[in-house]
Structures are given as C-alpha cells and as structure tokens.
Amino acid sequence: MHLETWFSTALAAASVASPAAAQRSVLTVPVERISLERDVKLVGTVLPRAQADLVPRATGVLAEMAVEEGQVVALGTPCARLAAPDLAAAAAVALANLAEARAEVDLAAAEVGRARSAAVAAEADAVASELGAEAAARELTMEESIVARHRTLRAANANTEEDLEMAEARAAIRRARHAEARARTAALHALARAAEAQVVRMQAGLALAQASAAVAEAQLEESKVRASFAEVSAPYESTLIARRLAEPGALVEAGRTAVLRVMDATTVRVRIHIPERDAPHVLPGSRCTVALDARPSAPIDAAVAHVSSALDPQTRTMPAEILLANGDGAVLAGMFARVSVSLGRTDALVVQAAAVRAEGRRLFVWSVADGRATKIAVEVGRDDGRTVEITLGLRGDERVILDAPADLGDGDAVRVIEREGTP
C-alpha cells in the first residue's frame, strides 16, 4: 500500500475510534541498525604511467623529426636526429687511430717473431758449439795421454826425441782447438742470451702496442656513443608521442632543450586524494570504481594500487593511485575521473528518509517519549533516497515520526500509530 494512503487510512481510523482525543496522531517507525557498505566519493585526474621530456645529450641543429603527435612507437625507435658534424668527425678520427694502433700491433708481433727465431738459432749454435767443445776436450785428453806414454817410453829410451816432440805438438794443437771451442761456445751463449733479451724487449713493445690499440678501441666506442647522443630514441616499450616541442632547424642545446614529450600510456594512473577521516580505511587493494566523464556509461571496476601512508599537511588529504590497463588507448591522460572507494562494511543507524526534517541548514528528527514529541538534532551520512544514515544524535532504540506535521512543537502530546520496518 502506498505510504500516504496507508497513513491517511490510519489517521481516519484513529479519529473514528476516539473523536474527542486532543492528541495528534503520528506514524512512527523504529530506528534500524544495519550493516552498511561505506564508500567515499572523490574526483581524480588520469595520468600516464610514465612521462618524460626527451632532451638530446648533444648540441646541434635539429635535422629530422621522424614522428608525429599521437603516434605510438616501440622501444628504441629513432624519433629525432641532430646534425652534429663534430661528433661524426671525432668518430672518424677515432677509427683512424684504431687502424694505426692495430698496424703497430701487427708490426710489433712480427718483430717479436723475428727476435724469437734469432734467439732459437743462437741457442742452437751455442748448443752445437758446446758439443764441439766437448769433442775437442775428448781429443785433447787422448793426445795428452799419448804424450804421457811417449814421455815414459823416452825415459826408457824406447823411442826417439822426435817422436816425443811430435806427440807434444799434436797435443798443443788439440789444446788450442779446445780453448777456441770453449771461447766460441761462451760467445754463442752470450749471443743467445742477448737474443732472448731482445725477445723480451720486443714482447714489451708488443704489449705496449696492444695496450694502445685497446685505448684506441675504447676511444672509438666512446666516439660512437657520443655520436649516438645526436639521436633521440623512444624510451618505453610502447611510447606515445604526446607533443613535439621543437621542429627541424631549431638549435638544440645539450641537456637543456627538450624536443619531444612522450608517455607510456599502456597503463594509466588515476590520482586521488583521500580525506583525513577516511584515510585509515583506504589500503592497497581497496576496491573502487572509476567513472570517466568521457565514458559515463562504462564505470571501471578497479583497486587502489598505491597509497602514500602520509597526509599532505597543506590539504590534510592522503594521495593514492589507481592503475588502469589501457591497451587500447581509450583512456586519455588528463581526463577527469569520478572515483568511489569502498571503505568496508560498518554498523550504522538508519531511518526512513521521511523522518528527517530540515530547519535552515540544521537537520533533525522527531521521536516520541511518554506520549510527547521530542525534537532531536542529528547529523547524517549516506542518503540513498529511501533511507538516511544517522551518524550523530540517536542511540538506536528510539522510534521516529514519519512526515511530522510542520507545526508540530517540541513537547506536543501525540497519539502514536506504529509501523515496523521499512515499507
């Protein structure tokens, strides 16, 4: 039955039952205690997951802009190029220096090879000479034994003086040959040692040439890196070109002049600010819905991704962020968002909306105690059009008057017509 029809019927019945009654008849309902899903309504701004102004690390004239605003390019895609001839010249010089250093390495390696061959040959000559000296020593020993035998025979007058002199002469020749062989062997060993020393010197020269080549290679790589400073590349896996900040022909200063503004918009952030009273109830993972003015009919279910866990002392709010997948690019950075963040369920007192009255900016309800109307100031929370949450003013055991007469006064006698619950 419609509320007004029911109330009129009830009043008529009450009048018939006691026509002489002085009290006004009022309809009351109990204050209800329910478990209420609480949320907070906020506004937010859509931001890209990452954004950067690309600044070349070289100075030069912008020669080419290879992308257009709104274009999406892959990581590493060349987007802009500077004309920087000094960097190209430095790279060419470094390349020439490396070629020269490598030639020096080849020359030093050849010299080491020649020195090593000479050392091997000298050592072989020394070994051969040493063998010759050993043979000469054996021959000398034999001749000296022959001389000793001739001397013995001469003492026994068994040979002639000429035989002895001939034996001694041959021994002297062998002695001289042995001395010559020893001297030659010593000289050849000295030459072999000198050749080995030359090998060591050549190896040192080779190591120095190799080190110089390594330095030249490093300088070439450095020059290539510096030359790459003249090129600006996309920094994200999916890079959105948001704005061209310079055009070809502009003079660009290293580290100061931005040429492009880019974004990673495959995921967007919705930044919100949680009021102080609600901040303790919002945690990473808190459920929320995001509605965009550009897409009012398609709210997005999401969750809070990050909270700062500290209030901004200027606004007394806590910044938080919600991440939204945006693979199709439909959500644009800078959009206005309306966000509802769940604060969880809580016990709440509610009354029917018809029980709440306004007096200026103050709200109140009428309750009945001992047959008289009592005016109670209240503060309200959530209002869904049918019921109103009472956050302050009621205990929860009262009965409140629905559609109280406008001229009802505090303390007026009333006759109660009770109805249980929400119609």
pLDDT along the chain (423 residues), means of 10: 47 43 80 86 93 92 93 93 78 82 86 84 84 83 84 80 82 84 84 82 84 85 81 93 94 92 92 92 93 84 93 93 90 92 88 92 92 92 87 91 90 83 56
Q: Is 300 left (phi over 0), alpha (psi -120 to 50) or beta?
A: beta
Q: How far apart are CA 95 and CA 220, in angstroms?
A: 6
Instruction: Look at residue 367 in the predicted model and tell me its pLDDT.
Output: 93
Single pTM value for the model: 0.57
Exposure string for 91-130, b = 16+ CB within 10 A, e = fewer: beebeebbeebbebbeebeebbeebbebbeebbebbeebb
Beta strands in 132-224 (DSSP E): none
DSSP-derived secondary structure letter, 332? P
Position 269 in a domain: no
Instruction: Look at residue 124 in the predicted model and tell me its pLDDT.
Output: 87
User: 355: domain CATH number?
Assistant: 2.40.420.20
Which of 178, 206, 228 marks a domain boundary?
Answer: 228
In contact, 31 and 349? CB cutoff 8 Å: yes
Q: Measuring CA to CA, how many Å separate 62 from each of 3, 92, 224?
A: 76, 22, 19
Q: How far apart are CA 233 and CA 246, in angstroms?
A: 15
220 shares a domain with 96: yes
Position 306 in a domain: no
157 shares a domain with 78: no
Position 359 in a domain: yes
Position 287 in a domain: no
Position 291 in a domain: no
164 shares a domain with 222: yes
Structure tokens at 159: 């040979």
For strand 336-352 and strand 356-359, is the pairing parallel, antiparallel, or unpaired? unpaired
Position 276 in a domain: no
Q: What angle do CA 367, 368, 374 make, to 5 degrees?
A: 60
Chain centroid offset of residue 11 CA: 73
In contact, 178 and 137? CB cutoff 8 Å: yes
Beta strands in 253-386 (DSSP E): 260-275, 287-292, 295-307, 317-325, 336-352, 356-359, 362-369, 372-383
220 shares a domain with 97: yes
197 shares a domain with 175: yes
Beta-bridge partners for 210: none
**Tally of domains within the chain:** 3
User: 70: domain CATH number?
Assistant: 2.40.50.100
Exposure string for 16-53, b = 16+ CB within 10 A, e = fewer: eeeeeeeebbbbbbbbbeeebebbbebebebbbbeebe
Instruction: Look at residue 14 in the predicted model and tell me its pLDDT.
Output: 45
Instruction: Look at residue 235 in the predicted model and tell me its pLDDT.
Output: 94
Instruction: Look at residue 91 in the predicted model and tell me its pLDDT.
Output: 76
Question: Among 421, 370, 376, which residue's Cα sits nearest to residue 23?
Answer: 370
103 shares a domain with 75: no
Residue 403 φ then ψ, to 5°: 50, 55
Helices 85-155 and 161-228 pack at an angle, to 10 degrees, of 170
Structural domain harbouring 192: 87-228
Q: Which residue has the tokens 């490598």?
A: 102
The Cβ-side half-sphere exposure at 60, using a 13 Å CA radius, reads 22
188 shares a domain with 78: no
User: 187: domain CATH number?
Assistant: 1.10.287.620
Instruction: Look at residue 22 in the predicted model and tell me its pLDDT.
Output: 58
Q: How far apart are CA 282 and CA 307, in angstroms?
A: 8
149 shares a domain with 24: no
Q: How far apart are CA 37 and CA 281, in angstroms?
A: 13
Q: How far apart are CA 406 and CA 364, in angstroms?
A: 13
Instruction: Look at residue 285 in the predicted model and tell me its pLDDT.
Output: 93
Instruction: Look at residue 422 in the predicted model and tell me its pLDDT.
Output: 56
Instruction: Look at residue 249 in the predicted model and tell me its pLDDT.
Output: 92
CA 196, 199, 200, 203: dihedral to nearest 10 degrees? -160
235 shares a domain with 162: no
131 shares a domain with 64: no
204 shares a domain with 244: no
Instruction: Look at residue 135 in the predicted model and tell me its pLDDT.
Output: 84
Exposure string for 216-231, b = 16+ CB within 10 A, e = fewer: beebbeebeebbebbb
Position 273 in a domain: no
Q: How far apart are CA 286 and CA 96, in angstroms?
A: 63
237 shares a domain with 160: no
Instruction: Look at residue 317 in the predicted model and tell me its pLDDT.
Output: 94
Position 30 in a domain: yes
